[in-house]
Amino acid sequence: MLKKAKGMLEKKAGIFSILFVFCFSAFGQRASAPMFSFGGGYSSSNYTPFWLRANQFGAVPTEENYLNVGGSTYVDYRKGKKMDWGLGASARLNLGDTKADLLVQEAYLKGKWGIFELSAGRKKYIQGLVDSTLSSGSYIFSGNSLPMPKIEIVVNEYWHPKFLSGHLGFKGNFVHGFFEQGRQNISQVYLHQKSLYGRIGKPNWPLKFYGGFNHQVQWGGTRRYLKNYKPSNGGIPTNILKDYFNVVIAKSLAGAGGDTATYGFNEGFNRLGNHLGSLDVGMEIDGNFGKLFFYRQSVYEDGSLYYGNNITDGLHGIAFSSKRKRGLVKIVFEYLNTTSQGGDEFYERFNVRGRDNYFNNSIYPEGWTYMGKGMGTPLMTLDAETDLNEGKGIYFDNNRVETFYVGAEMLVGENHLLFRGSLSNSHGNFGSVYIPVKKQIALGLQWQRQIFVFGQDAFLSANIGADLGSWKKDLIGTNFTLSVPLN
């Protein structure tokens, strides 16, 4: 194993070095200094502590002790340019007890024209109204999994039309993404994603209101668009452009009885693909004391929210950011509830749309995951991430949860501290209900500070975490990362 890992390390390190040196030398002052990192992690159990691996863009293994090396480099936009371009690249090699994983977290090109940006490749991002640094994770896109390859058109900052005198601002995105090949029973799966968010209030107003939605669709699938593909039951081959249009507008295929011959029972009587997302609202108060941000993300999947059947489900948050430069600078409280799911019954005739089974889907067995990790809130766990059930599959066996969460950021001298803690009650799912509920406590503390290595700035980060409860064996673990710019 060690010889294999060493060979892979030497091969990949050469590729990383060429990429970073090329970017830095080719673009001079536009490029940030390439960053090299080294680290590792250890746990007393076979699992990594929850808050040491959640929302890390797939970088930290769920299981196994590990060593890792990585690097990154970026070329960003120049200030004052209406048109410009940039790129980014970051990668990490994890050397575990039994395997070595190369993770390309970012590799993208981007360009802007005015308020619009076009990008292609892997790029880190989250989606939804939420605190971006301390949240337990935005419900639909939290940064828990490795970023998928995508093509995106986006307005990143709120745009204020002149005819509205700056009182209203808008931003949003439109994405075509690509799930990994070799998913269980199905591959060649695509992502359609779009969002639109608005803000009432000028940027300098002390009170602002926010609202918007995001729409996510898994669609496509093995062989569906091949010329020689013939659906069962005498259906006709589907057309990718027609299907894409139906996905974008979320068109119902039910019609007069549904085209089950072409699309199958689940899609023929419903919509093409797996549709899900959230409706978000928020309010911000900015005063001399600091900034308060209130937010709520309502869950929609399978029609329950439209009929009000799952209105109690969602992510609720309060974030306070102090204007102080020392001590407690931010604190976040969140409450996540996904236990309703519209109830345990489904009667379409009476508009009772229950048993939503969040993040799971019968057509796409691995559900709302990418590369084996959930893309949404990490608090709804996969079969492979706990010992709640015997299997180790990639599907959500623990998606009816109630979680109380707190996150805090502190600055003590030159030390930067981040704390995360959660108490989760698991109800299982409607196929396997836990009575009584199974509780889990997860704690994580991160310490960061700037140090000097060989006479230049570097950054040292260390984490310690613990998991206690019924989801898995109690454990404690730690990891560290040393990051050094290659000036």
User: Rounded distance, CA 358 to CA 338, Å?
Assistant: 8
Domain contains 188: yes
232 close to 263: Cβ distance less than 8 angstroms: no
Domain contains 480: no
pLDDT at 9: 43
Do residue 329 and residue 459 come from a single domain? yes
pLDDT at 264: 64
- Domain holding 328: CATH number? 2.40.160
Do residue 273 and residue 379 come from a single domain? yes
Domain contains 166: yes
pLDDT at 27: 55
| Cα separation of the two ends of the chain | 34
CA dihedral of 111, 116, 122, 125, whole degrees rounded to 10? 140
Domain contains 484: no
pLDDT at 285: 98
User: Rounded distance, CA 258 to CA 267, Å?
Assistant: 8
Do residue 52 and residue 70 come from a single domain? no
Non-local (6+) Cβ contacts of 307 within 8 A are 342, 351, 352, 353
Helix (H, G, I), strand (E, B), or coil: what is residue 487? Answer: coil
Domain contains 68: yes
Helix, strand, coil proportions of the chain in percent (round to 5)?
15, 50, 40
Amino acid identity, residue 347?
Y
Q: Phi and psi of 351, rounded to 5°?
A: 60, 35
Do residue 129 and residue 73 come from a single domain? no
Do residue 280 and residue 166 come from a single domain? yes
Burial class (CB in 10 A: 0-12, 13-18, 19+), 144: buried
Domain contains 476: no
CA dist list (Å): 218 to 142, 268, 370? 17, 16, 11
Tokens of 86: 């940039």
211 close to 281: Cβ distance less than 8 angstroms: yes
User: Rounded distance, CA 368 to CA 345, Å?
Assistant: 23
pLDDT at 348: 60
User: Rounded distance, CA 120 to CA 107, Å?
Assistant: 9
Do residue 166 and residue 74 come from a single domain? no
Do residue 167 and residue 294 come from a single domain? yes
Domain contains 168: yes
Do residue 65 and residue 194 come from a single domain? no
3-state secondary structure labels for all residues of 66-95: EEEEEEEEEECCCCCCCEEEEEEEEEEEEE
* Pairing relationship of beta strands 83-96 and 66-75 according to DSSP bridges: antiparallel
Do residue 24 and residue 98 come from a single domain? yes
317-334 per-residue burial string, b: 16 or more CB within 10 A, e: under 16: bebbbbeeeeeebbbbeb
Amino acid identity, residue 95?
L
Domain contains 477: no
Do residue 427 and residue 387 come from a single domain? yes
Domain hosting 262: range is 48-57+124-471
Do residue 183 and residue 292 come from a single domain? yes
Number of domains in the chain: 2
Residue where a domain stops, chosen among 113, 139, 158? 113
Do residue 53 and residue 74 come from a single domain? no
Strand partners, 87: 75, 109
pLDDT tens per residue across all 487 residues of the chain: 434 444 444 454 444 444 444 554 445 556 677 999 999 999 999 999 999 999 999 999 999 899 999 999 999 999 889 999 999 999 999 999 888 999 999 999 999 999 999 999 999 999 999 999 999 999 999 999 999 999 999 999 999 999 988 899 999 999 999 999 888 878 789 999 999 999 999 999 999 999 999 999 999 887 677 666 666 656 666 788 888 999 999 988 776 455 665 666 667 667 889 999 999 999 999 999 899 999 999 999 977 787 788 899 999 999 999 998 899 999 999 999 999 998 776 656 545 566 799 999 988 999 999 999 999 999 999 999 999 998 899 999 999 999 999 999 999 999 999 999 999 999 999 888 999 999 999 999 999 999 988 778 899 999 999 999 999 999 999 999 999 998 7
pLDDT at 487: 74
